[in-house]
């Protein structure tokens, strides 16, 4: 049912379930991450939704360096075949080169920004347009808080639950 769903939250749930299922099973995680990412392109989501969901998938399904490089290569091939280059060349380069010292800082910053974009997108899709106080709260939150909210976004009953978990 989740695989057939056109709701972006289905992808979030699938990514989370795949991350849990593939913990400490890197080859399987690689295969599931690639399949899930390809599925994004086939769902007719907007480019922003695809990029935000990709950032979430990339965050919850982190791969070791060798598989991360292979993943980046496979994704580039797939994008070329489908003519849908949604993941920027900079993001692809970061995936391909892994955690080299010079890119690590940029990836951390980009990762934080990606997390914030993913959280904002997920909350907006779930609860509608966000009031300014919530947007500002997300912009000023640290990485641990953003991660906690991302973990809880599917179980929040109201947007105000975000304030309670601050």
- Show which of 75, 98, 121 is a domain's final residue: 98
- Let me know if residue 104 belongs to a domain: no
Domain tally for the chain?
A: 2
Give the tens place of pLDDT for each residue, 20-65. 999 999 999 999 999 998 888 788 788 788 878 888 888 889 888 8
- 56 and 135 housed in the same domain: no
- Which residues fall within 8 angstroms of residue 8, CB to CB, at 6 or more apart? 45, 49, 53, 121, 122, 125
- Let me know if residue 69 belongs to a domain: yes
Closest C-alpha to 154, from 3, 6, 11: 11
Q: Which domain holds residue 125?
A: 109-166
Q: What are the start-end ranges of the E strands in 75-142?
A: none
- Show which of 98, 120, 148 is a domain's final residue: 98
Q: What is the DSSP string of 10-35?
A: HHHHHHHHHHHHTTT-HHHHHHHHHH
Give the tens place of pLDDT for each residue, 136-150. 888 888 888 888 888
- 166 and 84 housed in the same domain: no
- Let me know if residue 103 belongs to a domain: no
């Amino acid at each position: 049912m989740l695989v057939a769903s056109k709701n972006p939250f289905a992808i979030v749930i699938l990514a989370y379930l795949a991350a849990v299922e593939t913990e400490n099973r890197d080859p399987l995680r690689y295969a599931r991450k690639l399949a899930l990412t390809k599925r994004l392109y086939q769902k007719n989501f907007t480019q922003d939704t695809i990029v935000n969901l990709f950032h979430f998938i990339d965050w919850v399904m982190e791969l070791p360096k060798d598989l991360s490089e292979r993943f980046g290569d496979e994704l580039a091939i797939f994008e070329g075949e489908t003519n849908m280059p949604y993941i920027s060349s900079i993001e692809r380069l970061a995936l391909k080169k892994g955690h080299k010292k010079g890119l690590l800082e940029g990836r951390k910053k980009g990762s934080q920004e990606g997390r914030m974009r993913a959280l904002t997108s997920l909350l907006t899709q779930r609860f509608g347009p966000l009031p300014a106080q919530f947007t500002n709260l997300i912009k000023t939150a640290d990485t641990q808080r953003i991660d906690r909210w991302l973990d809880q976004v599917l179980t929040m009953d109201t947007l105000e639950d975000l304030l309670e978990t601050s």
